[in-house]
């Protein structure tokens, strides 16, 4: 298993990208935990749905975004390590994609929490 991730350790751009991505996911979780006890019982999470009760969900659903970010991070980490020998550019694109998902999820979390307050 460790040999699978040796490619990522060799490429400093990939290593820093995935470390920064993991850091952003952890910051997102800490940010949620910081404000969690002050949040109301329902918050607007599903903003693409029609206006009304369909948009709101229980406060615990705010953890869905870091969970999805972490899932995408894991999938992209494994995919990146498998594709690195064949095409390093594809591996780097996996890293960038994962990073962008984490950043956008973090911004959505911040916006949602500050909208409630």
Q: What is the rounded distance in angstroms from the CA atom of residue 77 to the CA atom of residue 84? A: 11
Q: Name every residue whose Cβ is closer than 8 Å to that of residue 85 and which is 6 or more positions away in sequence.
A: 7
pTM: 0.86
- Alpha-carbon dihedral 77, 23, 56, 42, rounded to 10 degrees: 140
Kindly state the DSSP code that residue 50 receives in the 8-state scheme: P
- Residue 73 confidence class, pLDDT cut points 50, 70, 90: very high
| Mean pLDDT, residues 36-56 | 82
Share of residues in the chain with pLDDT > 70 (%) = 97
CA dist 56 and 44 (Å) reads 4
Which pLDDT score, from 0 to 100, does residue 48 have?
75
Q: How far are the Cα atoms of 14, 58, 107 from residue 55, in angstroms, in the given order?
A: 37, 10, 18
Are residues 21 and 99 in contact, defined by beta-carbon separation less than 8 angstroms?
yes
Q: What value does the mean pLDDT take over residues 87-109? A: 92
Average pLDDT over residues 97-110: 94
Q: What is the mean pLDDT of the chain?
A: 88
What does the pLDDT average to over 78-98?
Answer: 89
Residue 58 CA from chain centroid, whole number: 20
């Amino acid at each position: 298993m460790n040999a699978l991730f040796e490619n990522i350790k060799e490429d400093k751009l990939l290593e820093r990208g995935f470390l920064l991505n993991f850091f952003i996911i952890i910051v997102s979780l800490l940010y949620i935990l910081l404000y969690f006890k002050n949040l109301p019982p329902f918050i607007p999470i599903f903003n693409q749905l029609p206006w009304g009760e369909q948009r709101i969900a229980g406060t615990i659903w705010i953890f869905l975004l870091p969970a999805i970010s972490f899932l995408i991070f894991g999938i992209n980490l494994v995919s990146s390590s498998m594709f690195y020998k064949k095409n390093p550019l594809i591996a780097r694109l996996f890293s960038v994609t994962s990073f962008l998902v984490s950043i956008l999820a973090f911004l959505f979390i911040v916006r949602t929490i500050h909208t409630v307050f």
